[in-house]
Structure 1
Amino acid sequence: MEKVQALTLNSSKPLLGIKGTYGLFGSKEWWNNIENNVIPQTEIEGTIVKVYRTGQDNIEKQNTIDIMTTEQKIHTEGMYANNEDDKTLYKEGAKVKIKYAYEPLKDQPAADGSQNNANTILEVSISI
């Protein structure tokens, strides 16, 4: 969090990091804006259809899931948990809901002309 905040405040890097439109990331102001729905948020829901390992690091643990959303689209996401043991809940067939917050990046616009956003996961719910 400190690195995200420092990059937001670093005016010598005008194209890196988030703008801080809704307050400094992780600050009390930022969380108040989450709770009051000032920061745009969305959720995806679906069923985990695949659990696997990605990346170039020499890790042996699975770290990625594919979700078949309720819109019948595959969504790929990392596996997040406050407690490492909870990653065992990520299983094929489990229902999952992920809540995201969207914040404008300093570098605008995106390649397609839309707003370039950072997508921050706020909450992951899994039911098996």
Structure 2
Amino acid sequence: MLLNLNKSDTPMKFVYLLSEELKENPGQIVLAQALTLDKSKPYMGLKGAYGLFGSQEWWNSIEEGKMPLLFLSGVIQRTYIAGQDSSSEENSFSLLLGDGSIREESIYSHTRKEDRRLFVVGSRVEIVYALDELKPGAVDGEETHLDIVLEMAVSLQSVE
């Protein structure tokens, strides 16, 4: 695990692990890798600089610190429904970071009903992202990266 929940002042629970998601849906790996390897789509998909998505090489790049990671931690300020899904279930939240900025995030969880209820105003959220490079030119001609959620944890009680 990349997030160390033992350092938290409040009890936290892992609600999402990409490693578990990929075990449950290995088709995601196949599709992402195929797009990376598809030479007919030079502007779509990941570059593969740290290995093919979901491969052992890719996970090793994360564990060995080769792939850049982004760690975020903050407190939920609001939850809301985003996107065109007709669901009435909130799927996003505004996260107040330690520097005072707000970042809009999506709710990730494996056991929807049980863990999704933890995403309430006042809950602390910790997230770690892999910053995997996109193919050159994938976004407005600039080489950039994709933020891939690796782990997400939420406090079991409000911190406010």
TM-score by length of 1: 0.92
Question: Are 1:95 and 2:124 an aligned pair?
Answer: yes
Q: Which residue of 2 aligns with 1:81?
A: 109
Q: Which residue of 1 aligns with 2:10?
A: none
Cα gap change, 1:98 to 1:112, in 2 (>3 Å): farther
Contact 2:81–2:88 (CA<8 Å) still a contact in 1?
yes
Gaps (5+ residues) in structure 1? none
Q: Secondary structure at the residue paired with 2:117?
A: helix
Q: Secondary structure at the residue paired with 2:52?
A: coil
What one-letter code is carried by the residue in structure 1 that aligns with 2:101?
K
One of 9, 18, 39 as aligned partner of 1:11: 39
One of 141, 147, 153 as aligned partner of 1:125: 153
Give structure 1 regions of 4+ aligned residues with deviation exceeding 4 angstroms. Answer: 109-113
User: CA shift at 1:112, angstroms?
Assistant: 9.1
User: CA shift at 1:104, angstroms?
Assistant: 1.1
Higher helix proportion: 2
What one-letter code is carried by the residue in structure 2 that aligns with 1:96?
V
Query: Higher relative contact order at CA 8 Å, sep ≥6: structure 1 or structure 2?
Result: 2
After TM superposition, the structure 1 = structure 2 runs for residues 1-128 of structure 1, keeping only pairs within 5 Å, are 1=28, 2-85=30-113, 86-108=115-137, 111=140, 115-127=143-155, 128=157
What one-letter code is carried by the residue in structure 2 that aligns with 1:87?
R
Q: How far apart, in 2, do the equivalents of 1:25 and 1:16 lie?
A: 14
User: CA shift at 1:83, angstroms?
Assistant: 1.4
Q: Secondary structure at the residue paired with 1:89?
A: coil
Q: CA RMSD in A?
A: 1.6
- Matched-pair identity in %: 36
Q: How far apart, in 1, do the equivalents of 2:139 and 2:82 lie?
A: 26
Gaps (5+ residues) in structure 2? 1-27
For these two proteins, the number of residue pairs brought into alignment is: 127
